[in-house]
Amino acid sequence: MRKIFIINLAVIILFIIFLELVSNFFKLSNIVGIQKELINNNDEVIYLRPNKKGLIFGEEVFTDSYGFRVPSKNFKYLYTENIFILGDSVAFGNGIKEEYTFVGLLRKKFDNINFVNSSVPGYQMKDQINIIKKSKEFKNINSILYFFTLNDVYGSSNIVDITSKKISNDTFNLTKIKFLDDLNKFLRNKSYLYLFLKGVGTDPSKRWFNALHANYENLDPNVIKDNFKFLDNFSKNIGTNLIVILLPYEYQTRDCNENILKPQKKLIKILKDLNIDTKDLTYKFCNDKKSKKNFLKFDPMHLSKNGHKLVYNNLLNEINF
């Protein structure tokens, strides 16, 4: 009886390993997580360590002396003109080679401009208020582009790190139990099969958006307004202009009805009141019949290569570089 149990257990384990290898080979999902060596240990100010190489969402990334993402090790800013990028993991380009991100595509298109990508995975508006101050270290800034993802209104950073003691913004109920939360983070960081099964069985894009939508229902517009006002005033004080680019969640692009686009409408009203230049790319995604392919598999907001190319193409039409 014991021998049969061991044989059956071994068969099950081998079958799971086989399925994991298949999931990996065909990229049925995307790994989530940041290599812990890339993240500083200061809980008050989260940033990526300077001059490092590591993995984010399974893709190799490089940082410069500021901790900003660059295409390669020892990358140098060669030009006198600069575009300073603010953003979170979407503008950082989680899971995508730098050359295929919209920042990387802009970098290749305009070979006389430095594109300084200060975006950090997990950043919120409060983090942008700190990071924008680093723009002072670059002269001749043509403009500051803030790629605003809807979850930027959350009050704390949401970096996915398996060593973190913080509960993630993932609304998967079992993660409210610490052991299961730790296991969830580990598997998100390691297992393509786990993410595939979780994606098929729970529709994470819908879950994340519903949680976000509830947050916007109770949003205090004055807090968001004050943050945008600070970023705009800071930009003006250093002699440049702030442009806010709004990006959608994947779930919104499935329907794009008036109710589901309420977050964008609230943000646009705030930005219009402040007279801040705003480009809402939501409808560019909505009008794409294959919009789901613009996002990573089972991901609520991170862009695929197609999505980055879509943003890039529209930036060329919307912004005078």
Q: What is the pLDDT of residue 162?
A: 31
Write down the CATH superfamily of domain 36-157+212-318: SGNH hydrolase (3.40.50.1110)
Q: What is the pLDDT of residue 182?
A: 61
Q: Which residue has the tokens 């208020």?
A: 129
Q: What is the pLDDT of residue 164?
A: 39
Residues of the chain scoring pLDDT < 50: 156-172, 174
Q: What is the pLDDT of residue 115?
A: 97
**Half-sphere exposure at residue 110, Cβ-oriented, CA atoms within 13 angstroms:** 22
The tokens for 188 are: 């998100």
State the Cα–Cα distance between residues 90 and 97, nearest whole angstrom. 13
Q: What is the pLDDT of residue 58?
A: 87
State pLDDT tens for residues 260-292: 999 999 999 999 999 999 999 999 999 998 999
Q: What is the pLDDT of residue 40?
A: 80
Residues ≥6 apart with Cβ < 8 Å to 243: 143, 144, 145, 146, 276, 277, 278, 279, 319
Q: What is the pLDDT of residue 133?
A: 95
Q: DSSP letter for 160, please.
A: -
Domain ranges of the chain: 36-157+212-318
Q: What is the pLDDT of residue 265?
A: 95
Q: Give the closest residue to 128 by CA, choosing from 103, 105, 145.
A: 145
Q: What is the pLDDT of residue 166?
A: 39
**Entry pTM:** 0.85
Name residue 279's beta-bridge partners. 245
Q: What is the pLDDT of residue 170?
A: 46
